[in-house]
Amino acid sequence: MNIERFDDEHALAEALATRVLQAILVNPALVLGLPTGRTPLALYRELRERSAIDWSGVRTFNLDEFAGLAGDHPGSYRAFMQAELFDHVSIRPENIGMLDGRAPDLRAECRRYEAAIAACGGIDLQILGIGANGHIGFNEPADGLCAHTHIAELEQQTREANAQRFGGDWTAVPERALSMGMATILGARNIVMIATGAEKAEAVRAMVEGLITTQVPASFLQVHRRVDVMLDDDASRLLTL
Ligand code: PGA
């Protein structure tokens, strides 16, 4: 894992936005894996501000989506992505890959997503956040992890972390979600993990310096050959390496 430290989340976001936009310039048909949450907000702000870049050939796949929510529900990740990025850049709607949390057959929806990623030739650059519990996507700490896109039961901590978009009420956050699996994520050719803030420091330490364990799903990134971990000072403060 290649560790990169930044003074603050803005410096990190600027550097990552530059990397994403350069990747698009080099490969206008870039296949980009995208996260939601608090951490990538600064990145999406940077990308919006540099929206002159041509996104019309870019394809995206988001990591996850809540089960049972329509795309226009304000708590859905589809709504988040439209507001934070997709409505502001020249990406074609048909090139946006999102899981449909309202699909009548959620297992079939998971299979459709895997096939859609494969049909694009796989993900070139996957951007990831990390949960304070070490999750990536909605791959929560467990005795075993799913390889492929699947229906995930969410931990209370994860639902609490998402409560802000549900009127502050964590019980209103869906109990289930659809998520890329570990093999879906690790199948990306390049991975950039971003983490900011002291509340991520322990998860970052476990991801980078701990043993590989299903109790810290992000620790599996250690087996991937091309992972850059971009951290602010607070998130990196427990690293000893
Ligand atoms: P956050 O979520 O950016 O809102 O902290 C990260 C994650 O859970 O993957």
- Mean pLDDT of the chain, nearest integer: 97
53 Cα to the center of ligand 1, angstroms = 27
Q: Is 140 a catalytic residue?
A: yes
pLDDT at site 3: 98
CB-CB contact of 12 with 230 (8 Å): yes
Predicted TM-score (pTM) of the model is 0.96
- Tens digit of pLDDT for each residue in 4-15? 999 999 999 999
Residue 91, pLDDT > 80, answer: yes
**131: Cβ below 6 Å to ligand 1?**
yes
pLDDT at site 136: 97
Question: What would the two tokens of residue 47 be?
Answer: 């990308």
Q: Which CATH topology does 2-232 take?
A: Rossmann fold (3.40.50)
Q: Which residue has the tokens 């650059």?
A: 125
Catalytic residue among 95, 133, 139, 162: 133
Residue 51, pLDDT > 90, answer: no
Catalytic residue among 64, 84, 100, 124: 64
- Tens digit of pLDDT for each residue in 146-205? 999 999 999 898 899 899 999 999 999 999 999 999 999 999 999 999 999 999 999 999
Ligand 1 atom nearest to 130, measured from its CA: 9
Residue 52, pLDDT > 80, answer: yes
pLDDT at site 112: 98
Bridge partners, residue 64, by sequence: 179
Pocket test for ligand 1, best of 34, 36, 39, 229 (most atoms within 8 A of CB): 39
Task: Find the mean pLDDT for residues 87-93.
Answer: 97
- Tens digit of pLDDT for each residue in 27-48? 999 999 999 999 999 999 999 9
**187: Cβ below 6 Å to ligand 1?**
no
Classify residue 174 by its DSSP letter: -
35 Cα to the center of ligand 1, angstroms = 8
Q: Is 133 a catalytic residue?
A: yes
pLDDT at site 155: 86
Q: Is 148 a catalytic residue?
A: no
Question: What would the two tokens of residue 191 be?
Answer: 């991975």
Q: Where are the beta strands (DSSP E) in the chain?
A: 2-6, 31-34, 59-62, 64-66, 96-97, 125-128, 150-153, 176-179, 190-195, 227-232
Residue 241, pLDDT > 80, answer: no
**177: Cβ below 6 Å to ligand 1?**
no
